[in-house]
Chains A and B, each alone.
Chain A
Amino acid sequence: EPEVTQTPSHQVTQMGQEVILRCVPISNHLYFYWYRQILGQKVEFLVSFYNNEISEKSEIFDDQFSVERPDGSNFTLKIRSTKLEDSAMYFCASSGGAGVVTGELFFGEGSRLTVL
C-alpha cells in the first residue's frame, strides 16, 4: 500500500543550527503538508503546498521555516535557525490524487527533532 515516508526518524541538533526534514509523499498525490506535535500537545498545522507554491500557512510558520519540492518526489521542511521550542515531532502528509476530491490526508511516521 502506498505510504508517506519521512527521514530522518530522529534528529538531534544544537540551537541555532539549520535542519532539513525530508518527505516522500504518495506518488500520485498533488497536495502536501507539514504538521508538528509538541510532546503532550495537539497536532498543529504548519503549511500546505500545491502546484509548487504555499497555499496556506499557520502563524507558527514564520520566516524561520521554508518548504520546497526540489524534484518530482521529495518535499522538504527547512528550519533556518532552530530554537529550543522547535523540539517536536514533525509530520508530513499528502492528499488529493488526480480526480480525487475527498480531502483525506495520509501521514508519515514523523521526524522527531530535538534541539539542545
Chain B
Amino acid sequence: KQEVTQIPAALSVPEGENLVLNCSFTDSAIYNLQWFRQDPGKGLTSLLLIQSSQREQTSGRLNASLDKSSGRSTLYIAASQPGDSATYLCAVDYGGSQGNLIFGKGTKLSVKP
C-alpha cells in the first residue's frame, strides 16, 4: 500500500531559526510531489511542486528537495517567522493526470516570536 509519512508531527521553534520538515513515501515510482500549507480550519495552499525528474524547487525562503531512490522529500524553511505557523502537508501523486494525491498527516509548525 502506498503511504506517506511526515516527521515530526509537531515542531516548535523560535523565530529566525532555519528548519527542516521531512516527508517519506513507500513507493518511489512517483509522478510528482507537492507541499501544501494549511492554516487551522482553512484550505490547502500550494507551496511547491517537484516533478519526478527534478531534485529541488525553491520559492522565496522555501526549498523542497526530492530523493526518489530513498523515498524522501524535505521542506527547508529559512529564517522562520511567526507567520509561518501552520500545518505543512506533503502529498505524492503516483497517477499522472488523475490527481489522486496521497497525503501525509502533516507537521504542525509553531514559530514563537
Residues of A within 8 A of B (CB): 4, 31, 33, 35, 41-45, 48, 50, 55-56, 58, 91, 93, 95-96, 101-110, 112
Residues of B within 8 A of A (CB): 31-32, 34, 36, 41-46, 49, 51, 89, 91, 93, 95-106
Given contacts A43-B91, A110-B42, contact A103 B97 (CB under 8 A): yes
Closest chain B residue to A4, Cβ basis: B43
Sample of 19 A–B contacts (CB below 8 Å): A31-B97, A33-B99, A41-B105, A42-B103, A42-B104, A43-B101, A43-B103, A56-B95, A56-B100, A91-B43, A93-B44, A95-B99, A96-B97, A102-B32, A102-B49, A103-B31, A104-B49, A107-B43, A108-B43
Closest chain A residue to B100, Cβ basis: A45
